[in-house]
Structure 1
Amino acid sequence: MTTPISVLVLLGSLRADSLNRRIVGLLADRAPEGVTVTIAEGLHEIPFYNEEIDGDSVPAAAARLREQVAAADRVLAVTPEYNGTMPAVLNNALDWLSRPYGAGAIVGKPFAAIGATPTPYGGKWSHDDARRSAGIAGAQVLADVVVSQSALEVDVLTDEEVVAKLVGALEALVSAEVQQAA
């Protein structure tokens, strides 16, 4: 019997029928046995990070995100790219997860970034930025677990080569050894 593993997804797109949301659905359907893939819903409800409101009374949506990440075994950003970087909603989520500095909910969590976008680069810059930000926040970033797929020439959800890369990224994140703090 395998130990259950929970993967919490930070979804960079707010659209109900976004390609990246559909990628998460595909991953949830094809996840290895014992692995649950869940989207952290409500990112749009979290106010922009401001240290003045991050004290004794944290906004409920930010507290909920921190609790979800703390309870998850792995964190996966599935995101498009907006103007050459990650969407503001993802950046804001990572900002909230980075606090308090050195002890945020994302500290020590295996983290990867994948996704697709209809550009020639497939979201590469967004994924690079998400990994860099999560690493600074203390996540255990898996730099070799990335899929930045252009959706210009293939149907990302049906092209078996692309699907295999996406599922492979999930499997690599799930199988990553959690590094113990020194």
Structure 2
Amino acid sequence: MSKPSIGVIVGSNSRASINLQLAKALAKLVADKADFEFIDIGHLPLYNRDDDANTPQAFVDFKNKVRAKNGILFVTPEHNRSVPAPLKNALDAGSRPYGQSAWGGIPAAVIGTSPGGPATSMAQQHLRNILVFLDMPTMQQPEGFIQWKEGLVDADGNIGAASQQFLTTWMEKFLAWVERNAKAR
């Protein structure tokens, strides 16, 4: 596979999101090895199956972006021990109507950050369960439960020295996962 095209979906729609900061810094770590596109989910209307017969254009455009990717990197916070509502909405919108899912077969990875000790472990587990149903081969190891601390991402948007080796290796393993599990096109 030549340079893979990776879609990055951040589970938060906050402009000040620490997960968005992490996602941008992760992409910088391996920018020479893949092309990254951040796929916005904040503008998507709330999914309603009543609209399946006349799919909103925002969903059509979103699904086309997803389908064009070789892999998807999910970077998500945890809301009430689960995935945030905007992310769940995007997953539902991208999988409907039944039989027209954009997700199927696209390799994925899940990572996230939070100031708390367990980071985003529960949200990641819930997301992995959803991704199994959506038929997305999802990287299992290494896991990425990243505690947000001063210096994780510096003022220039780079991963700090204390986490750089682990997160560079994590991203390299993700890119290898994408190559190994390439979706037949």
TM-score, length basis structure 2: 0.86
Residue 6 of structure 1 aligns with which residue? Answer: 5
State the alpha-carbon separation in 1 of the partners of residues 87 and 105 from structure 2: 19
Identify the match of residue 150 of structure 1 among 147, 151, 154.
Answer: 147
> C-alpha root-mean-square deviation of aligned residues, in Å?
2.0
Q: Aligned residues: percent identity?
A: 25
Give per-residue Cα distances to partners, 1:26-66, cap 9 Å, x unaligned: 1222215240122102x1221222211122x2112211111
Is 1:113 aligned to 2:131, yes or no?
Answer: no
SS at match of 2:126: helix
Structure 1 stretches of 4+ moved >4 Å: none
Gaps of 5+ in 1: none
Residue 80 of structure 2 aligns with which residue? Answer: 83
State the alpha-carbon separation in 1 of the partners of residues 129 and 161 from structure 2: 29
Question: Following TM superposition, by how much is the alpha carbon of 1:149 offset from its aligned partner in structure 2, in angstroms?
Answer: 1.1
Report if the CA contact (8 A) 1:24-1:37 is conserved: no
Q: Which has the higher strand share?
A: 1
Q: Higher relative contact order by CA 8 Å / sep ≥ 6: 1 or 2?
A: 2
State the alpha-carbon separation in 2 of the partners of residues 130 and 94 from structure 1: 10
Aligned length: 177
State the alpha-carbon separation in 2 of the partners of residues 15 and 31 from structure 1: 25
Gaps of 5+ in 2: 154-158
1:3-152 paired onto structure 2 within 5 Å: 3-41=2-40, 43-55=41-53, 57-101=54-98, 103-151=100-148
Give per-residue Cα distances to partners, 1:86-143, cap 9 Å, x unaligned: 1111111111222244541110010111010111111011111111111111111112
Shift in CA distance, 171/106, structure 1 to aligned 2, threshold 3 Å? same
